[in-house]
Amino acid sequence: MAQKVKLDAIDRRILEELRDDGRITNVELARRVGISAPPCLRRMRALEQAGFIRGYHADLNAAELGYGLTVFAWIGLHSQHEDDLAAFEALVGGWPMVRECHMLTGEADFILKAVARDWDAWQTFLTGELTTAPNVASVKTAPVLRRSKVQFGVPLDAASDD
């Protein structure tokens, strides 16, 4: 297990810069946070090892890659026994169209974010896989009309202490 890292203002600036530009060079990152490159790299590696940074990803343009439809689906299950929840999550893990899966409290058990090439592809998935999946009691969907805000990561409040 990685040791606990107490975040200071420089660590938070490093996280903020990497959140906004994961391809930034270490030299540029160091310049932006006001330290030299070697300690900047050490801090970045410590943040990775402590689990604050889980990975680096490219923000792919879904529409340009042929995925013109995004749909949110609220899923209700017949049973919320832990084994049934885990079985549903494992099933979802094998569906490439589903990009996010979150367990909820309230009316729905899960919310899924899915992408599809078009309405026909979504309908084929919905009727052939999702609604017929074991333990699925209900599915409510909402196609996305427009995406107006996307921010990756979390807000980093420089004033807070961990």
pLDDT tens digits along 61-117? 999 999 999 999 999 999 999 999 999 999 999 999 999 999 999 999 999 999 999
Arithmetic mean of pLDDT over the chain: 93
Q: Which domains, from first to last, does the chain contain?
A: 9-49 (1.10.10.10), 69-143 (3.30.70.920)
pLDDT band at 1 (very low <50, low <70, confident <90, very high): very low
CB count within 10 Å of CB 104 equals: 12
Residues 40, 45, 46, 47, Cα dihedral to 10°: 90
Q: What is the token pair recorded at 102?
A: 């979150």
How big is the CA angle at 91 (ends 136 and 141), to the nearest 5 degrees?
50
- Contact predicate 100/112, CB 8 Å: yes
Q: How large is the average pLDDT for residues 123-130?
A: 98
